[in-house]
Amino acid sequence: MSKMHLNIALDTLKATGVRITPQRHAILEYLIQSMNHPTADDIYKALEDRFPNMSVATVYNNLRVFREVGLVKELTYGDAASRFDFATGDHYHMICETCGKIVDFHYPGLNEVEHFASHVTGFTVNSHRLEVYGTCPSCMENEAKEAL
């Protein structure tokens, strides 16, 4: 499954003329395998042993290249560091307010909301983003332990 995603991603890069360096390969592989919406810093820390000459800025620049060709989505949260998401089709996010974990879930696209929003505002809709906030199971477990 993730091998297939990686190959499709590499083909996309080739098709758009983006050079596939070992670093780019490793960053993509990490994004696809981790599934935890890492920050550029997370990726840097995970790969610094393999690429001692790589900086956080390099990671960020590569992520920007991936974003431009549509392989990666950048999720911004105010002043907090952006999280990066390998774009495996439309999905929504469940976010833990305690530890910040982001979990994907699939739900039929909310096209009606887009149509309605466009209708009442006169805007042309490009995309939408839905995030559901709560407490993840492991944080609930921790809270339950602390309450004892």
Kindly list the residues in this chain that would bind Zn ion in the complex (CB under 5 A): 85, 96, 98-99, 101, 104, 136, 139
Determine the distance from the C-alpha atom of residue 136 to the mean position of all C-alpha atoms in its chain, rounded to a whole number: 18
CB 71 within 8 A of CB 12: yes
Select 23 or 135, whichever has its Cβ closest to Zn ion: 135
Of 131, 138, 31, 127, nearest to 77 by C-alpha is 131
Cβ of residue 135: shortest distance to Zn ion, in angstroms?
Answer: 6
- Shortest distance, position 47 Cβ to Zn ion, whole Å: 20
Q: How far is the CB of 57 from Zn ion (least distance, A)?
A: 24
Task: Give the contacts of 125 (CB within 8 A, at least 6 positions apart).
Answer: 114, 115, 117, 118
* Nearest distance from C-beta of residue 138 to Zn ion, angstroms: 6
Closer by beta carbon to Zn ion, 57 or else 99: 99
Of 59 and 85, the one with the shorter C-beta distance to Zn ion is: 85
* Residue number with CB closer to Zn ion (40 or 54): 40
What are the angstrom distances between the C-alpha of 42 and each of 37, 112, 132? 9, 36, 23
